[in-house]
Amino acid sequence: MREKIRLTQYSTKSGCAAKISATDLTAVLKEVPLARVEQLLVGIEHGDDAAVFKISENLALVQTVDFFTPIVDSPYLFGQIAAANALSDAYAMGGKPITALSLVAFPPKLGYSVLEEILKGGRDKIEESGAVVVGGHSLEDKEPKFGYAVTGIVHPEKYVTSKGVKIGDKLILTKPIGLGILATALKGGIIAEKEMMDAIDNARTLNKKASEVMMEVGVNGCTDITGFGFLGHLHIMLKASNKSALIYTKKMPIYLKALELAQIGFVPAGTHENKKFVKDYVEGEPTKDAVLMDILLDPQTSGGLLISVPSVKSDLLIQRLDEEGVKTKELVGEIVKGKESHIELV
């Protein structure tokens, strides 16, 4: 009998924690200016999750790409999480995914039956979204990596960006945080996959329903929480909109096992990179709580949507999320007057 493969043992970093740091990436992109055309409604200027390209008066494309190293040991679950994560960027813009191209890097020594399971997991999740896999590209690599380039559609006047937030908006988060800590613990053999199945189930859950509900209710802004952590992605949103936020730290949904691990100092390296990115923009008494800050800066993979909704619609949004079976819909903060791009923790 072939020994069971532990995919996390074949990568140096897990999931979105393998991203280039936000600080370094920002510096690089400043030196690579890109051409703009009239049809490009949303590019990379404000750190949005996907590009929006106008095709006609009633149709625009939403385009994004995301791939990463294994965050779990199971090949099939890895494929599902990678697909859900790639689709999430389109959902954050209010788009409807229609096609996906797979991106594969794979060590042949693992055996191609492992790759088959990864591809099956990804395909099943893409098809669950209503989109279809139309092809892809593969190469041999020392580390397994997997993801998708996703194309979606949206009305050119109805997409959602990170820069539309307004003072008085409420901030609602649709998945708990702390997955990066759990994935690092799994890779290190500190916990078993079965001990983080609640987080795995959330990570492979599509943000489809949350996206559809926010488009139905009408919101001002949205981003999904991934490798730059909750505070990192919130900061990007605030910078794009020239606004500030107040965050209710006691309302943050957190995986309990991640909290336990953070309390003994077990955090991924990406946490420290995220801290560098936001250190000049976060204030408040809770910043003295090292464990809390580690969790707020924890690099997520396939995290939830952070939605900025007008205050008068916040109750309706939470109600509709509940009716559509979205398990987490926590009101975690609000957009306030203050120093631009700053976050106050209370």
Catalytic residues: 16
Tokens standing for residue 326: 């979205």
Tokens standing for residue 143: 């580390």
- In angstroms, the CA 186 to CA 307 distance is 30
- In angstroms, the CA 133 to CA 340 distance is 41
Look-up: residue for tokens 């946490």? 271
Tokens standing for residue 105: 């890097």
Q: How many residues in the chain?
A: 346
Is residue 288 helix, strand or coil?
A: helix
In this structure, are residues 314 and 170 in contact, taking their beta carbons and an 8 Å threshold?
A: yes
Q: Of 107, 143, 179, which is closest to residue 9 (Cα–Cα)?
A: 143
Is residue 331 helix, strand or coil?
A: strand
Q: Of 111, 128, 152, which is closest to residue 206 (Cα–Cα)?
A: 128
Q: Of 91, 86, 83, 90, which is closest to residue 127 (Cα–Cα)?
A: 83
- In angstroms, the CA 60 to CA 55 distance is 5
Is residue 152 helix, strand or coil?
A: strand
Q: Is 30 exposed, middle or buried (0-12, 13-18, 19+ CB in 10 A)?
A: exposed
